[in-house]
Amino acid sequence: MSRAEIETLTTEISRIRDALSRSETEKANVQRENNTQRLDNDQLRAQLDDFEVELEQIKEQLEDERENTRNINEILTITRQKEQKALSEVQERTTEVIALRDRITSAEERADIAQREVEKVRERLAETEREANRLSRSLSAERFEKERALSELRLSSLPTGYRPSGYSSLGGAYYPGTSINRDRMPYQERDDY
């Protein structure tokens, strides 16, 4: 091997090592972002669960209030059929009905507010999940580039007689029509992160 070839290989190895170092740094940054995103997702899911529990409690309370209202209305219907002496009792029940209706209105307003908050949280959760998927795809691409660079480094370090046919010492590339395709992924990607 000539001195020029050795220098070319040395330069190429240095370039690949620099690329691998940058790739590792970017991979670590992406993993940190992914971990942060997952923590945010967990917090949002917990918040969503709390909102759903609160909404269910409000719905149960609302149904109880409606049942109470129906019961009071039945009592009012019966008391109207009684004599004049029950008039004071009817008036008291009417006041209770008004108060219960106000409470129902207030409960419905709280339920509407809680429902809107749940929808907002769901939208945020969907957005963070999309971002997590994007980061995951970015990490897969970085991993593929790293594996390809390692493959090129291993091939470029072989003596000329041991390299696959079609391999060029300039850049460690394969030209079209050779027995090995450079665009093929060196290893099957695993979705294990």
Taking a C-beta distance cutoff of 8 angstroms, is the pair 114, 155 a contact?
no
Entry pTM = 0.31
Least confident of 34-38, 91-95, 187-191: 187-191
Residues 6+ apart with CB under 8 A from 172: 12, 16, 152, 153, 155, 156
Q: What is the DSSP string of 117-132?
A: HHHHHHHHHHHHHHHH
Give residue 89's pLDDT: 73
Give residue 86's pLDDT: 64
Give the model's confidence band at 166: pLDDT under 50 very low, under 70 low, under 90 confident, else very high.
low
Least confident of 30-34, 74-78, 129-133: 74-78
**Angstrom distance (rounded) from CA 15 to CA 12:** 5
**Angstrom distance (rounded) from CA 77 to CA 79:** 6
For the chain, percent of residues with pLDDT exceeding 90: 26
**Angstrom distance (rounded) from CA 117 to CA 107:** 15
Interval 144-167 mean pLDDT: 77
**Angstrom distance (rounded) from CA 98 to CA 106:** 12
| Residue 166 DSSP code | T
Q: Which residue has the higher pLDDT, 87 or 13?
A: 13
Q: What is the pLDDT of residues 87-106, one digit of tens each?
A: 777 788 888 889 989 998 99
Q: Where are the domains positioned within the chain?
A: 3-174
| Position 18 pLDDT exceeds 60 | yes
Map tokens 């963070």 to a residue: 128
**CATH node for 3-174:** 1.10.287.1490
Residues 6+ apart with CB under 8 A from 184: none
* Total Cβ atoms within 10 A of residue 152: 21
Give the model's confidence band at 134: pLDDT under 50 very low, under 70 low, under 90 confident, else very high.
very high
Give residue 162's pLDDT: 61
| Position 165 pLDDT exceeds 70 | no
Taking a C-beta distance cutoff of 8 angstroms, is the pair 193, 137 a contact?
no
Q: What is the pLDDT of residues 169-185, one digit of tens each?
A: 444 444 343 444 444 44
**Angstrom distance (rounded) from CA 119 to CA 48:** 9
Interval 76-81 mean pLDDT: 75
Which tokens belong to 155? 């091939």
Give residue 178's pLDDT: 41
For the chain, percent of residues with pLDDT exceeding 70: 79
| Residue 181 DSSP code | -
**Angstrom distance (rounded) from CA 45 to CA 104:** 29
**Angstrom distance (rounded) from CA 91 to CA 107:** 24
